Structures are given as C-alpha cells and as structure tokens.
Amino acid sequence: MAIPRRKRVLIIAAFFILMAWHSMNAPEPTKASYSTPFHHPLFHQSIPINRETPIAADVESIVHIADEAKILVYLHSNRTTCIEPQLIGRLSGYFLSKIKWSYQHVTNHNVIVGRYTVPSPGNYFLEIIATMCQALDMDTDATNVCLIDPSQHRLTMDNATLDAALITTNNNNNAEGIGFWYNKNEVTMDTTDATSSIKPLFTRYQPQNCRGDNAALDRCKIPTDVTRFDPYEFQFNSQFFLNDEYLKGKEGRLCFIGASHSRVLARFANQISNNIHVLQVDHRYVANLTQSEVGYASKCGKVVIGMGQWDAGHHGMGPTSFRELKKEMNRAMLEFVKPLLDANVSVYFRNMHYNPLGDLITQCPPADWRNPNVVDTYNIITKELCNEFQVPFIDTTDITGIMWDRQEDWAHFKDISGELEARYFLYRVFS
Ligand SMILES: *[C@@H]1O[C@H](CO)[C@@H](O)[C@H](O)[C@H]1NC(C)=O
Ligand SMILES: *[C@@H]1O[C@H](CO)[C@@H](O)[C@H](O)[C@H]1NC(C)=O
Ligand SMILES: *[C@@H]1O[C@H](CO)[C@@H](O)[C@H](O)[C@H]1NC(C)=O
Ligand SMILES: *[C@@H]1O[C@H](CO)[C@@H](O)[C@H](O)[C@H]1NC(C)=O
C-alpha cells in the first residue's frame, strides 16, 4: 500500500486507542435491532442531523454501529414530506468510502440500513445526502420525478464524523475490490480542529442559474469547485499489477462501443498502450445496437460496451423507460452481442457512469434524467441481462462511483479517474 508509513502508524495507533476507550466504557455490543434507536451500547454513535434541511423533519435519528460497520437511518413513521428518501453517503478523511444502502426495512421498520467498508479504521467525516423521495422500480416513469434541491439535500451536520472500527473484506460495497482512494497528503486528522488540513468531501453540485457569468459568484463557485477532489489518489489492490509491464506483448484491437464516454476511454487507453489499437465505435442509444452494426464491430477483437448516457440524457422528452431499456437491451443481446460472440469477439459491458448533480438534472421537472437513481436502475438492468447472456459486466464503481461528482464538465471523466478506469479495462480485457 502506498499509504505513508507515518500515517499508517497514526491510523493504527488511533485504532488501538479507540478500541481501548471502548473496552473501558462500553458494555458488550449487542446485535443491532432495527426498531429500537438509542438503546445501543456506547460503541454505537449518534450522528448529528442537519435540522435546517426540510427533509430532516422526517428523520428521527442516524446511528452508527461501529462493530458492524453499519449506519441506521431511522425515519418517523408519520412522515409526510419524504416518504422513501433515497440516500447517498460518503466517508472521507484518510480514505474515501461509499455507503451501500438497503431499503428493505423502510416499510415495516422505518429504517434504512447502510453498510460501508474502509481500508483502515479511524475517524472519518460522514456526509449523507438524499437525492429523491421515492424509490424507482421497473414500472416507475422517471420523467417527472424531481430531485431534492441540492442546496438542501444534506441530512448530516457539516462536522459529522464517525469512528470506523471494522475492516471487512467481504464487502458488497466495493463491487470488484479494485482498490481505494486515499488522501495523499501527510496530514493529521483532527476533526475538532478547524485548521486541520483534511476537509470533509461534500457532494459537488451545480445550483440553478450558475452558467455563464454567474459561474464566478460565490454561490456557484463553492458548490461546483473541483479542487475538493485533489487530495485523493487511487491505489489499486495488490492483485492488479497495473504497471507498464502488464501490457507487454499484448496486441490487438479494442473497441469501446458507446458515445462520448467511450471516446474519452478510448483516448486514455490509446495513450497507455503501445501495441493495442484502441478505438471508439459510436453508438448513442441501446436501440442503435442492431444486426446491421455487427459487421463493423466484429472487426474489433474485443469490445467494451457502455450505453445509457443518451437514453437517460437531455436529448428527448424523457428518459428511455426502464421497461423499454430492458426490452432493447435484451434485443441487443440477441441481435448484436450474440453474433459478435459467434464471430469470436470478446464482449464486455461496463457500468454506465454517474453524472454529477448538474442544473438540468436537478431542475424540477428535470430536463436530464442521468441522476444517480436512474443510472443505478439502468445498471441493474444491464447487469441482469449480462448474467442471463453470460457476458462479463465490468463494474468500475470503485474508481468512478466514489468520486461520482468530480467531472468538471458534469459528464465525462477527463481527469485521472478516466485514465485509471481505462487502465483497469485494459488489464481486465487483456490479462
Ligand atoms: C411525527 O412524530 C414526531 C415524533 O413522534 C413528531 O415530533 C412530529 O411532529 C410528527 N410529525 C407529524 C407531521 O405529525
Ligand atoms: C458541529 O457543528 C455544530 C453547529 O455548528 C456545533 O453546534 C457543534 O458543537 C459541532 N460539533 C463538533 C463536534 O464540533
Ligand atoms: C439510434 O436510435 C435512436 C433511438 O431509437 C433513433 O432515433 C436513431 O435514428 C438511431 N440512429 C441510428 C444511426 O440508427
Ligand atoms: C472461433 O473460434 C473457434 C475456436 O477457436 C473456431 O473453431 C471457430 O472457427 C472460430 N469462428 C470464427 C467465426 O472465426
């Protein structure tokens, strides 16, 4: 691991102090109950709630259960404003981690259960935001589903932190265990010290009326600022040997099938590889993956297909519905993917990237439907069909999903995230 030694020592020392403190003060931790907030032993921390945001009126408490690496968000049973809040949570500090939420106990127990994994125990900042107030399912028409105004979407207090104690390896959070983002600065994290150089990584968004000259106003500059991501660097897990050696002797033609996001990936991959010819094959909608396009695509030895940006984008009267996307994807598997496989082309799908909360996405009603919830649903559909047709689905959420809000142009990973992702695709496809 490329974590500086001094930092590692600090982290481990902090862990033992924390453990010692807890063993002195805490009764035996008990299994968390979904229905009894506040009856937890000390190893459970209450997370301060930002009561100034209207949606917080529906939240009773947020509790961190350190010994299970869980966060429970208890909702008032009498809630009326945000019935099914859809959450995004991020831990920041020495490392970044995203919380994976389960909504299966919302209806009966009024609790949303979050799980996280961190590469190292310690004190982390915690931000939880709510994107929308309803769950999307296959039959939801997302056309008029509005997002919560991002200037009021933060449920946690700005200084909310938690003491992570558990490092789990069987994580359902880091989809492929590709690696993690760590803070490259040699810093001490003292969250009570305002001058501490580690700042909480708040979700970036674009307020309304922040284009053109307005972009220079403080109310626009602060929430859109991208320098917040600068302290973080990515560390691949040790099983991935992604140095310059791994592509030695590899050759062939790799095509990223898709629109502009695929173009960006192809550009990065070309810079990385010498003997592999990488190109983009331009298809915008899933509906465009047709039989007549097989011939051209079959000139590629390997293809990585990534769709969805146009289907959910701002180019129509609404997003391609979930049912329609599933139907088209199923058809594309039969008409496009299967013939490619028969022609001995290696076919992979990749997850659709998140887009940050740009102004078209958060305006009400929305003019662009590439919000995190629609992207998640599209990805679930694609993943399920990949399973059914036994086509590998490469999930780079570890790289692009944790800093899902960093794209300077509100869409494309033209930064280091895109290069890391291209590197990982080359590794997956050629090793
Ligand atoms: C819901 O219940 C809580 C606590 O029991 C109470 O404080 C709140 O005012 C109630 N809200 C509504 C909308 O009735
Ligand atoms: C967090 O911020 C709130 C509001 O500014 C303040 O009342 C509270 O004392 C702070 N907590 C810590 C631990 O700094
Ligand atoms: C791609 O699909 C879209 C949506 O179905 C359609 O409007 C467009 O004509 C197609 N383009 C091509 C080149 O087939
Ligand atoms: C695909 O590969 C198999 C096994 O290597 C070979 O038998 C077959 O002829 C190939 N098919 C095509 C269309 O190249």
CA 70, chain centre distance (Å): 18
pLDDT of residue 31: 34
- Amino acid letter, residue 123: N
Q: Is the CB of 77 under 6 A from ligand 1?
A: no
Q: What is the pLDDT of residue 24?
A: 38
What is the pTM for the complete model shown? 0.89
Determine the atom of ligand 4 nearest the C-alpha atom of 342. Answer: 13
CA 273 to CA 277: how far, in whole Å? 8
Which residues of the chain fall below pLDDT 70? 1-42, 167-176, 186-197, 241-244
How far, in Å, is the centroid of ligand 3 from the Cα of 94? 46
pLDDT at 176: 64
Q: Is the CB of 332 under 6 A from ligand 3?
A: no
Q: Which CATH class is domain 244-430?
A: alpha beta
Instruction: Tell me the β-bridge partners of 6.
Output: none
CB atoms within 10 A of CB 13: 11
Distance from residue 284's CA to the centre of ligand 3 (Å): 8
For the chain, helix, strand, coil in percent to 5 are 30, 20, 45
Domain ranges of the chain: 5-173+185-230, 244-430
Strands 252-258, 97-98: pairing kind: unpaired
pLDDT at 252: 92
